[in-house]
Amino acid sequence: MHSLPVSSALQSMMVRIRRDLHQHPERSWHEEGTAASVMAELRALGLQPRRIAKTGVVVDIPGLRTRPLIALRADLDALPIHEETGLPFASQNPGLMHACAHDGHTAMALGAAALLLQDPPPVSVRILFQPAEEVAEGARAMVADGALADVAQIFGGHIDRHYPVGTIAVQAGAMNASTDMFFITVRGRDGHGARPHEALDAVVVGSLLVTALQTIVSREIDPAHPSVITVGSFHAGTAANVIAGQAELSGTIRAQHPDVRKHLHAALRRIASAIGLLHGAQIETRIVEGTPVLLNTPDMAALAREAAMQVCGPEQVVELRSVNMGGEDFAVYLENVAGAYVRFGGRAAGREGFPAHSSRFDFDESVLAFGAAYLAQVARVAAARLHSEVPQ
């Protein structure tokens, strides 16, 4: 049993909140009930929250100084997954599930609010409860709606089944990859399968594209920089004896370095164009940018590590065990202000094999205590530094 860094009363409160949210998941941009629950919990703490970015919530916790602010962020939305955990508090909304621990993140942030209220921090702390993280749109909407006004630094984290409870993973550099999508249309000429010379086969051209795109990462990118180009869909043709005149391909581009990200985009466009010229096909390439690379700068990683050690002890603060190619739109905040992102160990006994976005995903609820304590502590450490650096 872990020795929890918060009171049993606060832990019980966070477990109650987490389970209630887990039973009532809502998809991105539809977090009305979730936002209402968060507002009610914050008001019960004596705070004055406000709605922002459609279904988001922000609240300021008064400090000894009001400006500049330290921000903390949690996410609200669930996934379109039918839950199969068998938990007594399983989702009551068919086809929706908190399969990425956002219910836990929200409970942690509310717990951090309670901790910060016990003793005013050196500067005020703003907590962001963000919608639509799963579709990589919520952070940009929050920023556009003024969530970062007067904010100097922002901190957050994610529950992670790869680490035991009581562990916090933090490091300088990439914590998450960029997540871009590509869509390629190949236009040839349809025709009879018995007379290929009269057609321009979009299946052949598209197949060459699939193969050629795999050489970008393997032959153009430094192996020290993890990156991925995956073709996830290929649609063409209507019958066995008809040569397809059009093919549609789509996929994902992932990188852990901004310059590598740019190179992948340019190389994909170059190869698609060249294959079109080679076979006389018209090829249209569209890249939709998603989340940027999530990078912790060395100074912010050091600050986060200091706070984590104060909560968990030095031996429990680790670096990532493997490269994380998943995306996280917390990176959008870090394009605007300084900050850091960490991973909270939340391995649940008996459920180690069920990853995030799985219908059987769950986590050890003891992690809520460590997450809340860390968020409150990193806000205090960051606030104390700001307080000493900003002229009185």
pLDDT value at residue 262: 98
Q: 253 pLDDT band (50/70/90 cuts)?
A: very high
CA distance readout (Å), 161 to 59, 99, 104, 343, 361: 29, 12, 13, 9, 9
pLDDT tens digits for 93-111?
999 999 999 999 999 999 9
My answer on whether 253 and 330 are in the same domain is no
Residue 140 has pLDDT above 70, yes or no: yes
pLDDT value at residue 387: 76
Cβ–Cβ under 8 Å, residues 279 and 204: yes
pLDDT tens digits for 277-289?
999 999 999 999 9
Record the tokens describing residue 170, joined without a space: 């933090």
Last residue of a domain, one of 291, 312, 329: 291
pTM score: 0.94
Phi, psi of 238 (to 5 degrees): -130, -20
My answer on whether 27 and 171 are in the same domain is yes
Q: 343: domain CATH number?
A: 3.40.630.10
Residue 392 has pLDDT above 90, yes or no: no
- 12: in domain: yes
Cβ–Cβ under 8 Å, residues 61 and 115: no
Give me the sign of the Cα torsion angle 359, 363, 369, 373.
negative
pLDDT value at residue 391: 55
pLDDT tens digits for 150-191?
999 999 999 999 999 999 999 999 999 999 999 999 999 999
- 3: in domain: no
- 205: in domain: yes
pLDDT value at residue 350: 78
Peptide bond into 164 cis (omega under 30): no
Last residue of a domain, one of 232, 261, 291: 291
Record the tokens describing residue 46, joined without a space: 């004596």
My answer on whether 203 and 214 are in the same domain is yes
My answer on whether 148 and 99 are in the same domain is yes
CA atoms within 13 A on the CB side of 78: 32
Catalytic residues: 77, 133
pLDDT tens digits for 334-367?
999 999 999 999 998 877 778 999 999 999 999 9
Q: 212: domain CATH number?
A: 3.30.70.360
Amino acid occupying residue 20: D
pLDDT value at residue 95: 97
Residue 46 has pLDDT above 70, yes or no: yes
Last residue of a domain, one of 291, 321, 346: 291
- 382: in domain: yes
Residue 1 has pLDDT above 70, yes or no: no
Closest to 186 (Cα-Cα) out of 251, 235, 241: 235
Which residue has 């190949």 as its token pair?
186
Residue 198 has pLDDT above 90, yes or no: yes
My answer on whether 228 and 373 are in the same domain is no
Q: Spell 301-337 as b/e; 16+ CB within 10 A means b.
A: bebbbbbbbbbbeeebbbebeeebbbbbbbbbbbeeb
CA distance readout (Å), 14 to 22, 31, 113, 158, 372: 12, 19, 11, 16, 9
pLDDT tens digits for 227-251?
999 999 999 999 999 999 999 999 9
My answer on whether 22 and 130 are in the same domain is yes
My answer on whether 197 and 126 are in the same domain is no
- 199: in domain: yes
My answer on whether 265 and 360 are in the same domain is no
pLDDT value at residue 104: 98
pLDDT value at residue 390: 56
My answer on whether 148 and 190 are in the same domain is no
Mean predicted confidence (pLDDT) in 1-5? 79
Q: Spell 175-210 as b/e; 16+ CB within 10 A means b.
A: bbbbbbebebbbebebbeeeeeeebbbbbbbbbbbe
pLDDT value at residue 386: 86
- 1: in domain: no
Record the tokens describing residue 306, joined without a space: 């200091």
Average pLDDT, the chain: 96
Q: 85 pLDDT band (50/70/90 cuts)?
A: very high
Residue 212 has pLDDT above 90, yes or no: yes
- 248: in domain: yes
- Give the domain range for residue 145: 8-176+295-389
pLDDT value at residue 348: 83
Q: What is the DSSP string of 173-218?
A: EEEE-EEEEEEEEEE-B-EETT-GGGSB-HHHHHHHHHHHHHHHHH
Mean predicted confidence (pLDDT) in 211-237? 97
Mean predicted confidence (pLDDT) in 375-383? 97
My answer on whether 145 and 273 are in the same domain is no
Q: 2 pLDDT band (50/70/90 cuts)?
A: low
- 2: in domain: no
Cβ–Cβ under 8 Å, residues 131 and 53: yes
* Cα 295 from Cα 338, distance rounded (Å): 10
- Total number of domains constituting the chain: 2
pLDDT value at residue 259: 97
My answer on whether 350 and 376 are in the same domain is yes
My answer on whether 141 and 210 are in the same domain is no
Q: Is 219 exposed, middle or buried (0-12, 13-18, 19+ CB in 10 A)?
A: exposed
